[in-house]
């Protein structure tokens, strides 16, 4: 049986998956080699990397909930058991045996909690390595998926995407408009809704990028931004005002282009139809009145 030969794209994806596994391993050497390989293939690695980061974030959150729940419930149950044991021992006059049992129980509790925290720490370090690799990518093609990640429910993923986008957005030009889907442009516009002063640098970078690739939806978002002015965001509002004329001109051009395309696509109603109720004699040539008189 002959094995099917992998296409270059499949080989690249397989290499990316291998690099992701090495990045999550405990070997420092493998981690460094994997990070370099992912940076070299950033265009192909961005989607798998974001998916892996999302899974690792969910895994970390689930582990954190389990550790907190087990630690809290275990501590409460263990404390209740100790109180009951001490009360029974005091009534029976044997305080030594419960004390040994309490010591053993607390030792077991602390050891199990330490293992749980160590597992949580490893998961946190793995997630930080993924975030660091993502933020170190300099390929402008990763900006679109990162912009879409700005609307993710996980705060840590949004913060990672924002950190990675900050150096990329000022490099975007009009030639990169085709790299962004409508969803990704919407994600880029969503940062303009922020009310956090710490997001001002990212908002300014997003406005600069929207000045190059923004469309009618970006125009509406910028107009809403200017409706709610505040002193804290004066720099953002000034940048939005400078951007507004260019966005309006681009939106008008898009509307004109859409109108022309719609007009060309509509079927014409002036079609040729077959003649009906036509007398065949009326189509024949007849002598003129002068010719009839001469005859």
SS3 content of the chain, % helix, strand, coil (to 5): 80, 0, 20
- Fill in the DSSP letter of residue 275: -
> Would you say residue 246 lies in a domain?
yes
Distance of alpha carbon 7 from alpha carbon 12, whole angstroms: 9
Query: Looking at residue 82, what is its pLDDT?
Result: 74
Q: What residue spans of 93-151 are helical by DSSP H?
A: 96-135, 143-149
- Tell me: pLDDT of 292 over 60: no
* Exposure class string for 48-86: b at 16+ Cβ within 10 A, else e: bbbebbeebbeebeebeeebeeeeeebeeeeeeebeebe
Q: Do 145 and 123 share a structural domain?
A: no
Residue 236 CB neighbours (<10 A): 22
Range with lowest mean pLDDT among 51-65, 123-137, 255-269: 255-269
Query: Looking at residue 246, what is its pLDDT?
Result: 86
**Domains contained in the chain, number:** 2
Distance of alpha carbon 174 from alpha carbon 211, whole angstroms: 8
> Would you say residue 180 lies in a domain?
yes
As a whole number, mean pLDDT of residues 61-84 equals 83
Q: Do 184 and 89 share a structural domain?
A: no
User: Which range in 3-17, 39-53, 191-205 is most confidently predicted, on average pLDDT?
Assistant: 191-205
Q: Do 220 and 152 share a structural domain?
A: yes
Q: Do 133 and 22 share a structural domain?
A: yes
Following DSSP, what letter does each residue of 45-107 receive, concatenated?
HHHHHHHHHHHHHHHHHHHHHHHHHHHHHHHHHHHHHHHHHHHHHHHHT--HHHHHHHHHHHH
216 in Cβ contact with 254 (< 8 Å): yes
User: Which range in 91-95, 157-161, 263-267 is most confidently predicted, on average pLDDT?
Assistant: 157-161
> Would you say residue 287 lies in a domain?
no
Query: Looking at residue 202, what is its pLDDT?
Result: 92
- Tell me: pLDDT of 252 over 90: no
- Fill in the DSSP letter of residue 166: T
> Would you say residue 33 lies in a domain?
yes
Query: Looking at residue 269, what is its pLDDT?
Result: 55
Distance of alpha carbon 89 from alpha carbon 104, whole angstroms: 16
The token pair that represents 147 in the structure block: 């912009």
Query: Looking at residue 60, what is its pLDDT?
Result: 84
148 in Cβ contact with 164 (< 8 Å): no
Q: Do 251 and 170 share a structural domain?
A: yes
Range with lowest mean pLDDT among 15-29, 83-97, 164-178, 179-193: 83-97
As a whole number, mean pLDDT of residues 11-32 equals 87
Query: Looking at residue 206, what is its pLDDT?
Result: 92
Q: Which of 137, 160, 194 is the last residue of a domain?
A: 137
127 in Cβ contact with 32 (< 8 Å): no
Q: Which of 78, 105, 137 is the last residue of a domain?
A: 137
Distance of alpha carbon 33 from alpha carbon 156, whole angstroms: 25
Q: Do 151 and 92 share a structural domain?
A: no
Q: 83 is in which domain, residue-wise?
A: 17-137
> Would you say residue 281 lies in a domain?
no
Question: Is pTM beyond 0.75 here?
Answer: no
Q: Do 127 and 39 share a structural domain?
A: yes
> Would you say residue 273 lies in a domain?
no
Q: Do 175 and 89 share a structural domain?
A: no
What is the distance between the terminal CA atoms of the chain, rounded to a whole angstrom?
A: 100
SS3 of 23, please?
A: helix
**Separation of CA 114 from chain center:** 35
C-alpha angle with apex 146: 144 to 150, nearest 5 degrees? Answer: 115
222/268: higher pLDDT: 222
Distance of alpha carbon 172 from alpha carbon 166, whole angstroms: 11
**In this structure, what are the phi and psi dihedrals at residue 102, rounded to the nearest 5 degrees?**
-65, -45
125/279: higher pLDDT: 125
């Amino acid at each position: 049986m002959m094995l099917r030969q992998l296409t270059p794209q499949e080989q690249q994806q397989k290499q990316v998956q291998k690099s992701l596994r090495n990045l999550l391993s405990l070997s420092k050497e493998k981690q460094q080699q994997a990070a370099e390989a992912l940076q070299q293939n950033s265009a192909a690695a961005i989607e798998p990397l974001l998916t892996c980061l999302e899974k690792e974030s969910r895994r970390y959150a689930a582990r954190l909930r389990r550790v907190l729940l087990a630690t809290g419930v275990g501590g409460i149950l263990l404390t209740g058991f100790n109180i009951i044991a001490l009360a029974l021992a005091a009534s029976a006059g044997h305080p030594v045996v419960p004390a040994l049992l309490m010591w053993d129980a607390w030792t077991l509790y602390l050891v199990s909690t330490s293992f749980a925290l160590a597992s949580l720490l490893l998961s946190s370090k793995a997630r930080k390595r993924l975030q660091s690799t993502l933020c170190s990518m300099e390929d402008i093609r990763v900006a679109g998926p990162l912009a879409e990640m700005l609307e993710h429910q996980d705060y840590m993923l949004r913060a990672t995407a924002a950190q990675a986008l900050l150096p990329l957005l000022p490099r975007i030009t009009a030639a990169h408009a085709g790299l962004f889907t409508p969803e990704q442009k919407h994600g880029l516009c969503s940062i303009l809704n922020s009310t956090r002063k710490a997001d001002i640098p990212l908002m300014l970078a997003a406005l600069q990028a929207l000045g190059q690739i923004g469309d009618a939806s970006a125009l509406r978002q910028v107009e809403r931004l200017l409706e709610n002015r505040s002193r804290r965001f004066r720099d953002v509002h000034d940048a939005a005002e400078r951007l507004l004329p260019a966005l309006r001109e681009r939106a008008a051009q898009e509307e004109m282009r859409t109108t022309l395309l719609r007009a060309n696509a509509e079927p014409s109603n002036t079609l040729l139809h077959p003649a009906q109720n036509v007398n065949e004699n009326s189509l024949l040539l007849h002598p003129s009145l002068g010719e009839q008189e001469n005859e």
